[in-house]
Amino acid sequence: MIQYPVAEGEAPNQLWDIVERLKNEDVRALNKFKLSLFDPARDVDNSPSGGQCLSFMSFKVIPGMEKPLDHVS
3-state secondary structure string, the chain?
CCCCCCCCCCCCCHHHHHHHHHHCCCCCCCCCEEEECCCHHHHCCCCCCCCCCCCEEEEEECCCCCCCEEEEC
d(CA 7, CA 19): 24
pLDDT at 25: 83
In angstroms, the CA 20 to CA 54 distance is: 23
Q: What is the pLDDT along the chain (73 residues), one digit of tens a residue?
A: 777 777 888 888 888 888 888 888 898 887 778 887 777 677 777 777 666 677 778 887 776 766 555 555 4
Q: What is the pLDDT of residue 64?
A: 72
